[in-house]
């Protein structure tokens, strides 16, 4: 089971220039919180998930408050291990896509997510925001 996240320069620059209520030295850096749920998760498994769920949040080091990151197209790189990509699955029209949990709609969504590659059993994606991510099985691109 594997999950990772990387931030492009645009995200790092935006966070570096954030406002701080304390002395600048107290506000250096940030906390990256990454939680992997291998099987039991607070998220539904429909449509079928083929990866663990990975929640990613950023927090201010000075007080632990969450930092919002959104509207940064393709600036957040996510990698998740998953089960799939077999020739048999492809012949049946099964596709695997990176998705995020849309808390407002209470469903998995691909809006703002680009699935850009597979390396063995690791799916790679770009995202424009932070949330919970998973690989979802779809049929014929639906």
Instruction: Pick the more confident residue, 37 or 27.
Output: 37
The CA–CA distances, whole Å, from 115 to 22, 61, 109 equal 39, 31, 12
Residue 15 lies in a domain: no
Residue 130 lies in a domain: yes
The enclosing domain of 125 has a CATH number of: 2.60.220.50
For the entire predicted model, the pTM comes to 0.84
Q: Domain range holding 101?
A: 3-7+33-57+69-139
Residue 16 lies in a domain: no
**pLDDT digit string, tens, across residues 44-102:** 888 888 899 999 998 888 788 888 888 888 889 999 998 876 666 667 778 888 999 99
Cα–Cα dist 140/138, whole Å: 7
Residue 17 lies in a domain: no
Residue 26 lies in a domain: no
Residue 40 lies in a domain: yes
Number of domains in the chain: 1
């Amino acid at each position: 089971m594997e999950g990772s996240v990387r931030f492009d320069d645009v995200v790092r620059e935006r966070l570096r220039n954030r406002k701080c209520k304390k002395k600048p030295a107290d506000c250096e850096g940030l906390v990256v919180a990454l939680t992997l749920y291998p099987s039991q998760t607070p998220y539904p498994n429909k449509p079928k998930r083929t990866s663990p769920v990975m929640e990613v949040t950023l927090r201010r080091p000075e007080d632990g408050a969450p930092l919002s990151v959104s509207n940064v197209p393709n600036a957040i790189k996510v990698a998740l291990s998953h089960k799939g990509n077999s020739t048999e699955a492809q012949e049946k029209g099964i596709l695997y896509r990176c998705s995020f949990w849309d808390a407002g709609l209470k469903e998995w969504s691909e809006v703002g997510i680009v699935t850009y590659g597979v390396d063995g059993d690791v799916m790679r994606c770009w995202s424009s925001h932070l949330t919970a991510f998973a690989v979802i099985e779809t049929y014929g691109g639906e």
